[in-house]
Structures are given as structure tokens and as C-alpha cells.
Amino acid sequence: MASSTGSGGAPAEESDQLVIRPLGAGQEVGRSCIMLEFKGKKIMLDIGIHPGHTGMEALPFVDLIDADEVDLLLVSHFHLDHAGALPWFLLKTAVNISTDHILYTEADLEASMDKIETINFHEEKEIKGVKFWAYHAGHVLGAAMFMIEIAGVKILYTGDFSRQEDRHLMAAEVPSMRPDVMIVVSFFFGIWFETRNDELKNVLLVLGVDVWNAHPREAGGQGDPVHEHSARYSWERWSLPDPLHVRVPNIRELHEREDQEIVVSNPFVFKHISNLKSIDHFDLASSPGMMQSGLSRELFEMWCTDPKNGVIIAGYVVEGTLLSGASVVPKMSVDYISFSAHTDHEFIRTLRAPYIVLVHGEQNEMGG
């Protein structure tokens, strides 16, 4: 909590205090939900679910607030730990079927879309006296950092961000103005990462080991560079030209060529991709990256007892998402090579915010 004082050092009025209250992701990773209260305004930042829990247990502690008093809800990006509870929250006052296991139906999800407004990056908006605009956050496509201004006080909420540029994604922008308060994710705060090239070299070293079979990936996330660069390696090792660089000098030409090719050929027939002739040895990228459910979880449980198999974990995994207490002992090889799309220390140093609030991280990492 950051606060101000009146003239002569007298205690400030309650509405003059900037109150920052984590309803989730205070000293944990998951269910990000941060409440700001200042000058009578109440802003919610993200509303995710915890990947290690299900149903109502996965929700942020929104029962601590009056939902009707929230003036503005800003969602940084589409990942479930930042946006997964949004349909439930938007419709929580309506009659729905929330149970211990089901938070909302597909119909609820569709109905919630009518209450969501999208904005462009750098587009300044003002709602009930609260100004805000968004910066590119890197991390995943569409991820945003929000600068919020209330009565001249600027608060930057980073959400998940990365200053590491990728082939499909620009790096997080550094705002031109210094915020008074910065709320920053911190679950990799005490860790320094290798360069992307070093990360890729490590992956290729593991790929050369016969026991490697699969690695989990985040949907639209960190499995993509692993898979893409593995494919590129087969071109570069034989000194073959990169077809994208040769054929696509600009994006307009790309669309023109694709339009022409669709007329005469099937765009989903890839000449460099072929079907497996056997399943004795193969590599597979699958989501979700935390392996809490879905295909990656099912494959892990099927393969983990065979020492001929292996897994590369390419990002952060929340405690409690693997095997959920099952007694199976993994015998496969496990490699952790982080393709983190998260925090950058230099970004924090550059902005030099007078107040920094750490969220979305474990206590040990926050102290690092």
C-alpha cells in the first residue's frame, strides 16, 4: 500500500490513500487479481484462475469486495491465470450453474463477450475519471501493460511481460513516462536467463538424445519457439536458405502470394512435413505447459514410467499441477529449459518507479 499525507504531515484522508490489494497472486503464481482503490475509484487488474485447483477453489478471493463497486476491470492477456475467471465474474450476479467443478458454461462464456470492450495499444481511454492506456507487453500476442492515471498519479501494471524479442513477437515496450507506482509480476524475479540462442542450443542438445520424446507447451506460448527453431535447425545445418527470408520481403507480398497459391494448390499441404512411418521415436509439442490437464498431462502420465522417454519443460510449472498427488514415480528424463516470456530486470531499473509492488510470484523469488 502506498499512501500520501496532507499538509504539515497530517494523515491523509482515506480516499487519498492508494490501496493495492491482491485478491489472488499475492505470494503465489496463478489467479491474478489485483484491486486498486484511490480517490474513491476501484479498479480490478486481471481476474484469473489458479491452475493447481478446480472449480470455486481456483477463483481469486473476490468475496472480499463488492463486485458492484468495481469501476473498471482491465485484463492484460488471455492466459487462464489472468483471465480464466472473467466470464464467471461478469455473470456472477446472474443465475448460473457454478458448482464445485464447473464455473461457467459455454453459453455463459458467449454472454460475457457482450460486456467486454477491446482497445488499441496506446489508445487513451477515460472511464469515470480514470485514464488508462496500453503498451505492448511481449509475452504472447495481444498481451498488454496498463498505465492507469487517477488524479495525476500514474500506476503501471505490467501483467506478464517480456523484453525478449521473438520471431513472431515484439519485445515489451518501455513507457516514455515514469510511473509513480509499478505493480510487476515477479515469479522469475530472482532468476537470470540465458539468451534465446543459448536456450535453443540446449534444446537441440537434448533433441540429439534418443530418449527424448515430448515437451509440454503453452498454447500460443513457449512451445512455439522450441518447435519452430527445431524445424529451422534442419534447414540451417545443411546451409539451406531460409524460405521466409527468400520469398517474403514484406507482408503485403506475403498476402498476395498466398492468395494466388490458394487458387491453384492446397495451402495446408506442407512439403517439409511428412507423416510418421512409425512411433518408435518421435518428438511432440503439446499444451498446456503446466500439465495440469489436457493432452500434455495425459501423455506425461502414459509415458513417465518408461526410462526410454523424456520431457522438456519449457516454462514455469505451478506446484500441484503435476500428477496431483498420484504415487507414480517418473522414470523418464526431465529437462527444464526455460523459454521464459516473463520479467526483465533492466526494464524495472530503467523506469525507476518510486514504489514497486511485487505480485504473481512465490515468496522466495520475490525476496531474490
SS (H, E, C) the chain: CECCECHHHCECCHHHCEEEEEEECCCCCCCCEEEEEECCEEEEECCCCCCCCCHHHHCCCHHHCCHHHCCEEECCCCCHHHHCCHHHHHCCCCCCCCCCCCCCCHHHHHHHHHHCCCCCCCCCEEECCEEEEEEECCCCCCCEEEEEEECCEEEEECCCCCCCCECCECCCCCCCCCCCEEEEECCCCCCCCCCHHHHHHHHHHHHCCCCCCEEECCCCCCHHHHHHHHHHHHHHCCCCCCHHHHHCCCHHHHHHHHHHHHHHCCCCCCCCCCCCCCCCCCCEEECCCCCCCHHHHHHHHHHCCCCCCEEEECCCCCCCCCHHHCCCCCCCEEEECCCCCCCCHHHHHHHCCCEEEEECCCHHHHHC
Which grid cell is 163?
A: 523484453
CATH, residue 328: 3.40.50.10890
Residue-wise pLDDT for 92-119, tens only, equals 745 454 555 688 888 888 989 999 999 9
pLDDT at 10: 47
Residues of the chain with pLDDT under 70: 1-14, 93-101, 187-255, 257-258, 261-263, 267, 315-316, 318-328, 337-344, 363-368
Q: Is residue 274 part of a domain?
A: no
With the C-alpha atoms ordered 334, 339, 345, 348, is the resulting torsion angle positive or negative? negative
Q: Is residue 71 part of a domain?
A: yes
Q: Is residue 2 part of a domain?
A: no
Residue 181 and residue 124 share a domain: yes
Residue 71 and residue 155 share a domain: yes
Residue 86 and residue 200 share a domain: no
Residue-wise pLDDT for 6-35, tens only, equals 444 445 566 789 999 999 988 888 899 999
Residue 216 and residue 128 share a domain: no
pLDDT at 226: 47
Residue 242 and residue 180 share a domain: no
Structurally, how many domains does the chain consist of?
Answer: 2
342 is catalytic: yes
Residue 176 and residue 296 share a domain: no
Q: Is residue 5 part of a domain?
A: no
CATH, residue 42: 3.60.15.10
Q: Is residue 360 part of a domain?
A: yes
Residue 229 and residue 112 share a domain: no
Q: Which of 77, 215, 229, 342 is catalytic?
A: 342
Q: Is residue 4 part of a domain?
A: no
pLDDT at 176: 94
Q: Is residue 1 part of a domain?
A: no
Residue 172 and residue 55 share a domain: yes
d(CA 25, CA 47): 10
Q: pTM score, two decimals?
A: 0.68
Residues of the domain holding 244? 196-267+280-336
Residue 235 and residue 323 share a domain: yes
Residue 153 and residue 112 share a domain: yes
pLDDT at 192: 45
Residue 85 and residue 126 share a domain: yes
Average pLDDT of the residues of the chain:
76
Residue-wise pLDDT for 149-183, tens only, equals 999 999 999 999 988 887 778 989 999 999 999 99
Residue 206 and residue 127 share a domain: no
Q: Is residue 275 part of a domain?
A: no
